Structure 1
């Protein structure tokens, strides 16, 4: 059976000699890049392209009718952990100007005897002129293939830069010059119609299915989820508009465990088994890889079930449309056979999904025990040995995410630090499926407890004196929830109450944002007034909009928009309905904040297939005083350093 891959799915390889056959709707230049354990390509000599079509273990070749990448895994140097198969449009106008103007490229991975192992149709392309189509990567001594389909509207220079090549523009120019050579035999013409014949049976991303007519395979591929793209066809940038730092390097999704070499037993999951320069970065990348793997596996399963249901519906409609086959024993048998085929597809898809979920569950258990405090749950043992850190961590845990396919498999929800967006702890009465049973007053109490837990974690993971917390509580209703912060001396001042207190805090923080912005733009950070606290600031606002007039609301919006870039962050504990009197004026404020809830709620979506994920906040276990103990240690450290 051939695996019909969808974007992001991986598949095990059981043979060392491979051939990747490429076809497209126009001339395409084929290349390959050899990367190390971190995914980066060390230099131009590790790129197989028309000007250098052979390196040990990898060969690129082509004719006027077909093209291929030959791979001998056993001949690769030990330092090679990843082979990226690259496609690019020739720069001399011999074909379409963008991939979206031609038929979708198709890649077939075959073994030494010609048996097809996997196929991948790169859909969803538009303005891209170069792309990473497939990746072969080594994990725990075993090799796997992963469908990538990552396009680049800026062509090979942008692609090579993402692979870590410093001389990206020069190498792209070399490939273009070689592709323009009249003797080039590596530019692929459109394939023969029989190139993708209806040979052996195919299976979906989540499970196998028997042989189907070509129209069924095309319909199924149409159900495969495509990575989201911007209107212009370029890659979607999920960074905050105010963030100008480069994105992290591409992170490989951790594949399911593969058989270990030599003994045939599956290798166990390993914490930190991902790319990265530090253990913290490797764990962060591994968590996000697990998040993506779960999203892709669930999408493949749902796609397989959707395909099975649609095929059953077509078959039943065909039987009902013909009076000769509508009734009678033969009609009943045909309908039963159609339902059996549907059930078989769903059962096989579920079996593969259960296998993937079991592997991810095992990996999640191993990873959870290895997480540092910033990534760990409040019930983790790492908090018992807590000590004030010397540097800010890479990210922070805000809660857990899970899907209905396996509610017990929870993926940590990590956000990068410093926070690029403020937080909105929604205490509304209609925030989703998880809040319908809660009393409004109880929701507000839980929301404030949730905000204090987030604030405590932020204080605990930053070096002493690098983080300050302010609270606006106009009606003084959050005294009980704020007690841990007040007892340890973590607040810069008592919670601001009344309209005057609101105005005072907002005026001071607005002034700080203005002065720091001017100092940064002018390069005169040492000229700031001595009363300006250069530590990062967190403002917790409770009971919004109580105590806020129009001027205070405008200042709050200003802090939400401009504050994160200079270290002023906002955490709102509010019900949007309470502020409906301001009308659409506050819509930009709510959109600028990351919405979280005090109870489980399914309002978050992933950037790959847009599943609705159930979010659960990161709270201390019932009856635990871990948050108070950690805050007490934070207060002790602050007093010891005179902060």
Structure 2
């Protein structure tokens, strides 16, 4: 049996799982069958004592049983919930400590101890969620001081009347979920439930390759957070127990005090060993999952060694930027990916454009591969000639010669602005048609050599560029603190890719630090030609 920490996840191997919970107060147990946005899709997706059955999910004898193979195909997860018993007196201090248990084929597989701190009267204890053709379990522990009514509303269920009237709960259309996955800068929304085809979970998840990789990233982030939390707890407990052992001056140098100190160190080592073992198990599972996915992902999201680069072109909804890792947390390396077109520009932080050339080459190769069915047109501003080596392979898609003279920058940018403004007029007039091209702007050496009006033009393209299918990349030093407010605002609005070792990125779910190693385009001409293949 596994003792889970908040955020930790583990694979499920049984065909049937059963959830139960115990506390010092009377509990009601329920479940929510949800889509990727963590919202229910139908009335029967809320399983409670008033509606005890859904497809594959049953509530009986104070426990929720899930037959995994029978859960509706368009569901992403089942949230397992406890709340204060609606017919018992309301607990004045909330639920208090709750122990959630999950059984696989009638054997206890995992236990999660939760101690609400703010008087919560409803909790999402566990999440059983899909991963490829299998299922996993995540410890959640999210509490709701507003009770079950607040929890249900946050997950798309409209509750009529008092909290106890759960029988009248129905799906609520429209509004976004307050409990949806974090909405930070680097969070990617998953495929819409109506896009998922029944009976084809593997093909669907690979077709939405970006979402699959972000799900793996989330699993890695939560496992990392559980390890960090366990290490911190072990250190705090050790410090407390060592302080207690020497608190009495009359006994601090006795054999009993020394034995207490040794026992404290042993307990700390045991706690850390368990946490590291759990994290190692999680990482090994994710490494295998990534290896399996890499053989099926489209080229723009796959590793350079993937057979996808040798096969026929395949469209994708994202591109891979590099790999995230943390040396102190083991060998796991997670692909870091973003959606395309790049509605939020990429800013490569560097003092030298030539040093960033292999990074830019890799990004261009992946942008070309992401949308093979549309013509790609690349506008390149390269005042220092840093990307001269890329011009040959990219000639078929270049929208004119690269701009190498600063006096030509404004005209090139204005042409893109004019095209975006015409598309905006068409949109407002109701005659807009989706762009048939994927436009790419590479603005290197920014802001040196650019006029003040050029920064405004790039800012305008950030707002309207999606109307012409534009992806923008900027190469230059970070200008977020620039004295020019236009340049500073532009820099702050971009997604920055650090090129200096030791600059951490923080995941949007737990805030754990990661190091980003950006992909580099190989320098061998034959390999460059293979990755920068142009089919237009």
Contact 1:604 1:614 in 2 (8 A): yes
Whether 2:63 is the aligned partner of 1:70: answer yes
Name the CA distance, whole Å, in 1 between partners of 2:20 and 2:529: 58
Evaluate the alpha carbon distance shift between residue 360 and residue 471 of structure 1 in structure 2; reply closer, same or farther with a 3 A threshold.
Answer: same
Secondary structure of the residue aligned to 1:325 is coil
Paired residue for 1:314, among 237, 240, 246? 240
1:224-623 equivalences under 5 Å are 236-238=182-184, 248=191, 275=201, 278-281=204-207, 283-387=209-313, 389=314, 392-406=315-329, 408-428=331-351, 443-473=352-382, 475-486=383-394, 488-525=395-432, 535-564=437-466, 566-576=468-478, 582-598=483-499, 602-623=503-524
Name the CA distance, whole Å, in 1 between partners of 2:66 and 2:481: 62
Name the CA distance, whole Å, in 2 between partners of 1:113 and 1:465: 53
Matching residue of 1:203: none
Over the aligned positions, Cα root-mean-square deviation in angstroms equals 4.5
Secondary structure of the residue aligned to 1:509 is helix
Shift of 1:512: 1.7
Secondary structure of the residue aligned to 2:406 is helix
TM-score, reference length from structure 2: 0.79
Matching residue of 1:84: 79
Name the CA distance, whole Å, in 2 between partners of 1:326 and 1:54: 61
Shift of 1:565: 5.5
Secondary structure of the residue aligned to 1:625 is helix
- Where does structure 1 lack aligned partners over 5 or more consecutive residues? 62-67, 162-167, 182-229, 251-272, 429-442, 639-643
Shift of 1:491: 0.6
Secondary structure of the residue aligned to 2:321 is strand
Contact 1:471 1:539 in 2 (8 A): yes
Matching residue of 2:530: 629
Evaluate the alpha carbon distance shift between residue 462 and residue 308 of structure 1 in structure 2; reply closer, same or farther with a 3 A threshold.
Answer: same
Q: Deviations along 1:429-483, whole A, 9 cap, x unmatched?
A: xxxxxxxxxxxxxx5323123113211221232135432110112x342253433
Residues 12-21 or 312-321, more deviating: 12-21
Shift of 1:522: 2.2
Secondary structure of the residue aligned to 1:570 is strand
Shift of 1:503: 0.9
Name the CA distance, whole Å, in 1 between partners of 2:242 and 2:254: 14
Report the structure, 1 or 2, having the larger strand content: 2
Name the CA distance, whole Å, in 2 between partners of 1:496 and 1:619: 23
Secondary structure of the residue aligned to 2:250 is helix
Secondary structure of the residue aligned to 1:615 is strand
Name the CA distance, whole Å, in 2 between partners of 1:349 and 1:328: 32
Name the CA distance, whole Å, in 2 between partners of 1:416 and 1:625: 28
Secondary structure of the residue aligned to 1:108 is strand
Shift of 1:156: 6.2
Contact 2:37 2:190 in 1 (8 A): no
Name the CA distance, whole Å, in 1 between partners of 2:109 and 2:362: 53
Contact 1:378 1:626 in 2 (8 A): no
TM-score, reference length from structure 1: 0.67
Contact 1:50 1:175 in 2 (8 A): no
Q: Deviations along 1:579-618, whole A, 9 cap, x unmatched?
A: 9764454222112111114465543211111122111122
Contact 2:437 2:468 in 1 (8 A): no
Contact 1:602 1:612 in 2 (8 A): no
Evaluate the alpha carbon distance shift between residue 510 and residue 125 of structure 1 in structure 2; reply closer, same or farther with a 3 A threshold.
Answer: farther
Matching residue of 1:3: 3
Mark the structure with the bigger radius of gyration. Answer: 1
Name the CA distance, whole Å, in 1 between partners of 2:491 and 2:155: 38
Name the CA distance, whole Å, in 2 between partners of 1:400 and 1:7: 22
Paired residue for 2:127, among 135, 140, 143? 135
Shift of 1:424: 0.6
Q: Deviations along 1:340-370, whole A, 9 cap, x unmatched?
A: 2222222222222222222222222222233
Shift of 1:381: 2.8
Q: Deviations along 1:187-233, whole A, 9 cap, x unmatched?
A: xxxxxxxxxxxxxxxxxxxxxxxxxxxxxxxxxxxxxxxxxxx9x98
- Where does structure 2 lack aligned partners over 5 or more consecutive residues? 169-175, 194-198
Contact 1:50 1:178 in 2 (8 A): no
Contact 2:56 2:71 in 1 (8 A): no
Secondary structure of the residue aligned to 1:324 is coil
Secondary structure of the residue aligned to 2:397 is coil
Matching residue of 1:221: none
Contact 1:86 1:130 in 2 (8 A): yes
Shift of 1:234: 8.0
Contact 2:522 2:528 in 1 (8 A): no
Name the CA distance, whole Å, in 1 between partners of 2:114 and 2:348: 41
